[in-house]
Amino acid sequence: MDLNQLQDKFIHDLFVSEGLGAVIDEAEYGYAKCSMVIEPRHCNALGIPMGGTIFTLADFAFAVASNQNGRDVVTQASQITFLKSAKGKHLTAVARQIKDGKRVCFYEVVVSDELGTEVAFVTINGYVVRDQGEG
């Protein structure tokens, strides 16, 4: 899938596209870079992005990276470690495939702000629910 096809596919993920405002910046099979502008609705009482906001962006980047080449993949298990509070106004999640298997894949995702602050590190085990082998 090219970038436009991926954007068309994932625009239907309304929780992310409308709720979070996340966009796909770059993608190829096994890799994705997604981003969002931090708005007050994404922040907790301390004025920093909620953990759920950060995790959702990371999970979205994983979904974009893994749901290509005729594969339908869902999150089987994940682990997030929050490293620092975001200092900037924009978050980016970069997902990279570490292992690709017939039924299970493994990714790591780094979430950072535009100032270079690494905000979170996420590992995700994905489960392949369907593989049409288009790639």
Residue 14 has pLDDT above 90, yes or no: no
What's residue 134's pLDDT?
64
What is the pTM assigned to this prediction? 0.93
Q: Please check the confidence at residue 1 and state whether its pLDDT lies above 80.
A: no
Q: What is the DSSP string of 21-65?
A: --EEEEEETTEEEEEEE--GGGB-TTSSB-HHHHHHHHHHHHHHH
